[in-house]
A = this chain, B = another copy of it.
Amino acid sequence: MKTKNIKLTIAYDGTNFNGWQKTPCLRTIEGELEAALLRLLGTKTVLQAASRTDKQVHAKGQVVNFMLEKELPLHQIERALNAILPKEIRILTAEEKDKTFHPTLDATGKEYHYIICNDSFLLPHRRTYCWHYPYCKLDIKAMQSAAKHFIGKKDFSSFTSKKVKDGCRELSKLEITDEAPFIKIVIVGNKFLYKMVRILAGTLTMIGAHKMKEEALLSLFQKPDRRLAGPTAPAKGLFLMKVFYT
């Protein structure tokens, strides 16, 4: 029997999970998915994910793969896993890929959304899906103007919480849209540093709050210093939307 390389595209509400990565005694997406596959296939399955999302981060298009050693049609995998998994995790599609397909190494880019609620109160239904920023009215035009500095190949070392040898990354899109009372930040890039999207969101928010100047960004790229960038925006506002492959 032929081993098949299965690519799953999945969505999850990260609220009640300790992030993607399996950790003893904690509820994680990987842990739930592994348990569901064990129940379905009867054997332990190794999963690889395009992004190891943090605690409370959401996904609408995470990509995962595993090797299937059993004869099982794709639509049955999808249906059976959705029947076993908690409703917080959904398999959107299951596809067969080349033996060599790897969700992380083959990814050419990723799209993230970051949602801010810029209102005095936060609707209960959105409380775990955005960052509540009620302190002042954010200047969206200033945020949009600042966004252009992030586009292209740059050293993003100021925008990560981990020391890196090479902080060079490339963003192809950084769009900020007014969906009052929400502000949506769309970020597309080739690769991302640890916590980079959340620090970018925090920095843009500081610019919107006039607590940081657009010009300050320039020196952040020239002379990297994490302390001079904005705060790390809360995880619950972050969504992994899409992983791109050629």
Contact = CB atoms under 8 A, between A and B. Distances in A.
A122 B13 contact: no
Chain A, interface residues (CB within 8 Å), range: 10 to 19
A99 interface: no
A92 interface: yes
Contact of A90 (B91, B92, B122): B122
A81 to B, nearest CB: 11
Contact of A122 (B12, B58, B87, B124): B87
19 contacts: A11-B121, A11-B124, A11-B125, A13-B125, A13-B127, A58-B124, A58-B125, A60-B123, A60-B125, A87-B127, A88-B127, A89-B124, A90-B121, A90-B122, A90-B123, A90-B124, A91-B121, A92-B121, A125-B129
**Which DSSP category, helix, strand, loop or mixed, fits chain A's interface?**
mixed
A51 interface: no
A82 interface: yes
Contacts of A89: 124
Contact of A82 (B13, B88, B121, B123): B121
A129 B13 CA distance: 13
Nearest to A86: B124
Interface in A144-182: none
A14 to B, nearest CB: 9
Interface in A42-86: 58, 60, 82
B87 A124 contact: yes
A13 B13 CA distance: 16
A124 B60 CA distance: 9
**Cβ-closest 5 pairs across A and B:** A13-B124, A87-B127, A88-B124, A90-B121, A13-B125
A205 to B, nearest CB: 20
A197 to B, nearest CB: 18
Nearest to A121: B90
Contacts of A125: 11, 13, 58, 60, 129
Interface string A6-17: 000001110000
